[in-house]
């Protein structure tokens, strides 16, 4: 069966757009804001509005999902001082579960709003379905062209 190297740029762009929609909905709903439950009395909504995703080719021609947000977001997600959890930050999107707003002393407690561990199977299924559909389309087109006497 084929892999990502067999996919066209058009398919990869559509896959990226789908991933961004799902990730944005999931993470966007986790970011501390005034109306979250439990309510976060210190949130202004600026962090949530600053969340931006990109799906672009890197210098080697490989598509990558990028995320940017206001600088203080890393402290909101991963905590500060004795609460800081470097391993959570290294784990990326599929790292720690979101635990909601927690009041802290001597620093910000980690809220891990970048955690999407529970959603990993969803994203794996999206990628698998996209690959399967693309591969089946390729095979069908190849068989169809072959039946029409097209030379390869």
pLDDT value at residue 114: 80
Distance CA 129, CA 134 (A): 8
For the segment 135-141, the average pLDDT, to the nearest whole number, is 77
Q: Using one digit for the tens of pLDDT, what is the confidence trace for 1-15?
A: 445 566 788 888 888
For the segment 77-89, the average pLDDT, to the nearest whole number, is 75
Q: Using one digit for the tens of pLDDT, what is the confidence trace for 29-62?
A: 888 777 765 567 778 888 888 999 999 999 998 8
CB 66 within 8 A of CB 56: yes
CB 26 within 8 A of CB 53: no
pLDDT value at residue 148: 61
């Amino acid at each position: 069966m084929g892999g990502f190297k067999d996919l066209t740029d058009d398919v990869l762009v559509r896959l990226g757009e789908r991933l961004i929609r799902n990730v944005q909905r999931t993470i966007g709903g986790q970011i501390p804001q005034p109306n979250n439950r439990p309510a976060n009395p210190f949130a202004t909504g600026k962090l949530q509005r600053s969340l931006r995703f990109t799906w672009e080719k890197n210098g080697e021609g490989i598509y990558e999902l990028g995320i940017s947000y206001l600088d203080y977001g890393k402290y909101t997600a991963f905590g500060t001082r004795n609460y800081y959890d470097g391993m959570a930050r290294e784990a990326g999107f599929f790292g720690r579960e979101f635990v909601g707003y927690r009041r802290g002393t001597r620093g910000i407690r980690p809220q891990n709003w970048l955690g999407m561990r529970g959603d990993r199977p969803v994203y794996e299924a999206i990628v698998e379905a996209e690959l399967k559909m693309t591969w089946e389309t390729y095979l069908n087109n190849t068989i169809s062209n072959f039946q029409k006497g097209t030379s390869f």
